Amino acid sequence: MTTPLLRVEDLKARYGPVQVLHGIEFNVFKKEIVVVLGANGAGKTTTLRSISGMVETSGLIEFDGQPTKKLNPSEIVRRGVAHVPQGRGTFPELTVEENLKVGAFIRTDKDIKTDIEACYSSYPVLYERKAQTAGSLSGGEQQMLAVSRALMSRPQLLLMDEPSLGLAPQIVEDLFTRFVTMNQDHGTTMLIVEQNAQLALDIASRAYVLESGEVTIEGRAEELVNDDAIRKAYLGT
Ligand SMILES: Nc1ncnc2c1ncn2[C@@H]1O[C@H](COP(=O)(O)OP(=O)(O)O)[C@@H](O)[C@H]1O
Ligand SMILES: [Mg+2]
């Protein structure tokens, strides 16, 4: 067995007196795309925020073989974890190009400009709008920018919280196709939280289902697509 890139064991989290994660456990291996499914309020966002060091937790979170417990969020980014938060993960008052530069805040190397150009060639619309504020972009363009901004830290692991939320189906399909390309071309490992189970299971190798702060189902994506409970709860068929 290889060591997982991300190992989560007995993860518990609370907001004040209310415990919302009750000892969850999962792994993400290098180069995998893993999806987390679950209803509203199940604890998906809290799980990603825990990995990024934004929530007080107990239990074990290990990234690349090292516990992340004592690290603050920017140290976790430095270790190689980037987070595209739920909603629009951009700074609306900053321009497209400024957003990309902010995404590279941990870097001092000379390749930042090259990486910005690479973003522009993947997403020409971002090049066209590079001097516009992020807030003036359409929802789909903002999501492309949010993902591009996260990639500017050259992450090993990309956490994405409901990237399809509020986007038209065609745009979502395009975005997910790009996730697959990113994964294949650059080997970027991804942990994606999604309500759009069908699309997410199509691109993922494995999935976990969270219910009320616990992992209740896990398995290979192609098996879960055919699982009756999953079909009923998340695929509407
Ligand atoms: N900042 C917060 N303060 C108090 N309770 C919160 C906060 N954020 C989330 N919660 C509660 O924690 C639970 C899990 O929320 P969340 O992780 O956002 O779930 P999901 O992303 O699966 O919808 C929910 O019951 C939610 O109401
Ligand atoms: Mg959420």
213 lines ligand 1 (CB under 6 A): no
Task: Give the closest residue to 136 by CA, choosing from 91, 170, 104, 101.
Answer: 91
Q: Which domains does the chain have, with CATH numbers?
A: 1-80+155-237 (3.40.50.300), 90-154 (no CATH)
Ligand 1 near 54 CB (within 6 A) = no
Output the CA 113–ligand 1 centroid distance in Å. 38
pLDDT of residue 130: 97
- Please write the tens of the pLDDT for every residue from 141-186: 999 999 999 999 999 999 999 999 989 999 899 899 989 999 999 8
Token pair belonging to 166: 């509020």
Using 50, 70 and 90 to split pLDDT, how confident is the model at 232?
A: confident
Per-residue pLDDT at 17: 93
Model confidence at 47: pLDDT above 90: yes
pLDDT at residue 236 tops 80: no
pTM of the model: 0.94
Collapsing DSSP states into helix, strand and coil, what is residue 80? Answer: coil
Tell me the sheet residues that pair with 82. 158
The residue nearest atom 3 of ligand 1, judged by CA position, is 15
Question: What percent of the chain is predicted at pLDDT more than 70?
Answer: 99
**Residue % of the chain over a pLDDT of 90:** 84
Q: Please determine, for residue 1, whether its predicted confidence score (pLDDT) is greater than 70.
A: no
Task: Give me the pLDDT at residue 192, please.
Answer: 98
Burial grade of 24 (CB within 10 A; 0-12, 13-18, 19 or more): buried
Q: How many whole angstroms separate alpha carbon 102 and alpha carbon 82? A: 12
Q: What are the residues facing 190 on neighbouring strands?
A: 33, 158
Q: Would the CB of 38 count as within 6 Å of ligand 1?
A: yes
Maximal CA-CA distance, the chain: 51
What is the model's pLDDT at position 87? 87
Ligand 1 atom closest to 162 (CA): 21
- Tens digit of each residue's pLDDT (9 = 90 or more) over 182-200: 999 989 999 999 988 989 9
The mean of the pLDDT values for the chain is 94
Position 25 pLDDT exceeds 80? yes
Question: Which residue matches tokens 């199940």?
Answer: 42
Q: Is 45 in the pocket of ligand 1 (CB under 6 A)?
A: yes
**Closest C-alpha to 220, from 234, 237, 202:** 202
The per-residue DSSP string of 192-220 comes to EE-S-HHHHHHH-SEEEEEETTEEEEEEE
Say if residue 237's pLDDT is above 70. no
